Amino acid sequence: VIRLVLWLSRPRQPGELWRVHPHTHWTCDHDYPMNISIADVKDLIGTPWRLGSANRSDGLGCWGLVREVLRRSGVSVPDPWDGVERTEARVESVFAALSEEFESARWIQADPRDASPGDVILFGGAPGEPSHAGVFLAGGVLIHSVRSIGVVAVPYSRVVGRAIRAYRRAAA
């Protein structure tokens, strides 16, 4: 199935015409098996941040949020925090454990500048080493959990320059 996702910008002044928004794009279910939109996850926005947590009632860490967003699309990913002390010092080892999942045949590495809905986007702390994650949504939006704010959705264009890797679910 191929479809056009058309985004229109409202007129800003009387007499101005509707404009095609830059987030207009084609999608193809074969190439992009997940079509996650902000509507699918809007209830998560505003959830407080909590390091390593995957329990929404306690707050969500970045990976807990990624797991929840993917779960809603029928994709199960491991909890690298399972059995690990939840401290800032453990973040690096948690992301190292995730590399096994992303190196499996279930995922393919993609260019973060060419993200598609459902892509897991990794951001770096130390050069080349991931320390934060989010999910790219339809419409050019990234949902992620930020320490000082909690779960937010932001235009991906604001953060793409800090993305170091993107992983896309391999087509079945």
Query: b/e per residue, 5-20, with b = 16+ CB within 10 A?
Result: eeeeeeeeeeeeeeee
| Model confidence pLDDT, tens digit, residues 133-168 | 999 999 899 999 998 889 999 999 999 999 998 999
List, in sequence order, every residue forming a beta bridge with 130; answer none if it has no partner. Answer: 124
pLDDT at 32: 41
pLDDT at 29: 39
Contact 73, 34 (CB under 8 A): yes
The distance from CA 26 to its chain's CA centroid, rounded to whole angstroms, is: 19
Place of tokens 């096994």: 100
| Model confidence pLDDT, tens digit, residues 44-89 | 999 999 988 888 888 998 888 998 998 888 888 777 666 656 566 5
Q: What is the pTM of this model?
A: 0.74
Grade residue 90 by pLDDT with cuts at 50, 70 and 90.
low
pLDDT at 21: 46
